[in-house]
Structure 1
């Protein structure tokens, strides 16, 4: 078989949720963000495992993502939709019992008219300028909104992965100014905010990326491993090149393994010059450009020719690959392609 094997360790996922739950404090509910198909790992399998671990509240990006999660966690678990109540969402929100996080007065009017009595939350903008009501808009509709009994009021931190960034305290202050005194559960923190400490936790935390084994949760257990079969190994002579554009030239005889994956499988093209694979614990440098379906790797220093090489795993996680590609672990996870043979553990 020429496709790679993507192994998803659900026990590690659950362990990461429990660790972040412990950091959130006994008085704070720890939810789980399972948007983007569970960060590329399969929303249904991920949500079901997290529910078994103890998660009782879930977040998705758009209403369409709610169907798989609802099937996985049953009829009663709250599922919040970050994008709020968009035009055309009414039937889905109602049928699946999803909770839109309303981002504007316009969305609030749409929701109250289309689904009177249906649960909703409010998202506030505390400085990120992405989603949510800004202070003036919130002040104008606050009394009306609170009279309709929202189930959650939230905001989102822009720089939580940088603990010393002044924006964190600025947003905390803004959130408290906008919400102190309301009788509604509050939520400010995703993974990074949890790690900032109890001042940021409020009533509900929303870990996302940390569940899946990536920064800023440096103590996270590894969730994803990716093993790619070798199609062919060849001897490349000094002066010969590998891959498109002749970007790598051998300065000595080199054994080059061609592995069966590329950017069509979510392996970022830019990682070529700085990326590597693993044979056991031995690093093997990627040679030349990552192409659509194939990557060249230097295996000259190995005592035996392996049948496969590992691109993700313990000690070489999504952040390592992301660093080589000049991106972030989120992009690596959510780009992992459909061609892999997916194997779930736990």
Structure 2
């Protein structure tokens, strides 16, 4: 992303009353898709846009991904699929990871959504819906290869293999599973899950196979199978924390300085007065807090940036505000038009996550609606 100025003219910003500006680079998202697609060879590169495209806006992001070449999308819930259908072409396939809940099969067919069947109960429900429809209906089948989260057990798969009528009327378009330790390439669990997928799929109707999400793509061709489904990698999160991130950052979060003051030795900052100055300090209060999704736990070791200046967070993050140390910054650049980077070129989403003791997924999906959002277009 281009290094934008830290001082924004109020008249040039569409929402001068907002406390922070979240810039989302659609061009970077498209470039990440292109890179991931190139790594996966003949496998279809789908796109995961659940949780409103990881908090960045599925309405804006999905059409860009489709233009980049994605024609298979994954969401978590039925309602997400229904909303997404309005923003992609009729040719796009949308798979719903949580499958059909009781009473919802008609909504799937009504909105041209494909369920991922995770249990024998969902299989029975979809089979009954196909019987009522009078024609086979497509579905993906998920098998549990060791994560103990979603999917059919080996006993379930053996039951289906012994009685093929249990899948009557179900057109199996994909057999899939999910890696638990893909972000740890040396984990033996990866090869174990791969072997289990092959074993379980051999007992089910022949269909394309899928195992890898973002980090799994970087395990190599043996894990690509027929389809991969990147999510976090599309939005710039690192697939392997032990190696340099090959992906483009997609967001920049800049918070407005609301007030600047000088405090003296012994003065405390924030709720609980958990930080106290050892001497005179110049501090700034920002219009961003945990109600905006900037995690409260991010205060410990967290910081903002203004150009080359690292600005440590002082004390606890409040609901609507965060306090930083600006003692080293020239006073001339500190006023109500100054914005500091909370996420930016020197402090990535993954860096923020480490300070908060969490993962980049949570940081992205937590980003709130109070920011003014600016979508940077794709390059011409």
Does residue 149 in structure 1 map to residue 171 in structure 2? yes
Which ranges in structure 2 are unaligned for 5 or more consecutive residues?
1-16
- The correspondence of residues 200-239 of structure 1 with structure 2, limited to 5 A, is 200-216=223-239, 218-239=245-266
| Equivalent residues, number | 345
> Is 1:15 aligned to 2:31, yes or no?
yes
Q: 1:124 aligns with which of 122, 143, 147?
A: 143
Alignment map for 1:103-118 (pairs within 5 Å) = 103-116=118-131, 117-118=136-137
Q: Distance in 2 between matches of 1:114 and 1:144?
A: 15
> 1:244 matched to which residue of 2?
271
SS in 2 for 1:229: strand
Partner of 1:305: 333
Where does residue 113 of structure 2 map in the other structure?
98
Q: Return the alpha-carbon distance in structure 2 between the equivalents of residues 153 and 138 of structure 1.
A: 11
Contact kept? 1:94, 1:115, Cα under 8 Å: no
Partner SS state of residue 116, structure 2: strand
DSSP 3-state at the match of 1:85: coil
Q: Is the 8 A contact 1:299 1:305 kept in 2?
A: no
Q: Distance in 1 between matches of 2:99 and 2:356?
A: 33
Residue 198 (1) aligns with residue 221 (2)? yes
Measured in 2, the distance between the counterparts of 1:249 and 1:105 equals 59
Unaligned runs of 5+ in 1: none
What's 2:10 paired with? none
Q: How far has the Cα of 1:262 moved from its partner?
A: 0.3
CA deviation after TM superposition for structure 1 residue 44, in Å = 1.4
**Could you say what secondary structure the match of 2:99 adopts?**
coil
Superposed CA offset, 1:22-80 (max 9, x none) = 1111x111000000011001111111110001001000001110122111112221100
CA displacement at 1:224 relative to structure 2: 0.6
How big is the alpha-carbon RMSD for the aligned residues of Structure 1 and Structure 2? 1.3
2:312 is aligned with 1:285: yes
Change in 2 beyond 3 A, CA 1:92/1:9: same
Q: Is contact 1:242–1:248 with CA below 8 Å preserved after alignment?
A: yes
How far 1:176 sits from its partner (Å)? 1.0
The TM-score, its normalising length taken from structure 1, stands at 0.97
Query: For the residues of structure 2 that align with 1:221 and 1:90, how far apart are their CA atoms?
Result: 38
Deviation at 1:314, TM superposition (A): 2.2
Contact 2:18 2:372 in 1 (8 A): no
| Aligned-pair CA distance for 1:178 | 1.0
Structure 1 CA distance for aligned equivalents of residues 171 and 83 of structure 2: 27
Shift in Å, 1:146: 6.1
Match for residue 337 of structure 1? 368
Say which SS state the counterpart of residue 72 (structure 1) adopts: coil
Alignment-derived partner of residue 19 in structure 2: 3
Q: Provide Cα deviations, 1:84-133, integer angstroms capped at 9, x if missing partner.
A: 11113223211111100000111011011124422111000000000000
Mapped partners of 1:316, 1:17: distance in 2: 22
In structure 2, C-alpha distance between the alignment counterparts of 1:111 and 1:268, rounded to whole Å: 40
**Kept in 1: contact 2:123–2:167 (CA 8 A):** no
Aligned to 2:4: none
User: Do the aligned partners of 1:9 and 1:344 also contact (CA within 8 Å) in 2?
Assistant: yes
Q: 1:37 aligns with which of 42, 52, 75?
A: 52
> Residue 46 in 1 paired to residue 61 in 2?
yes
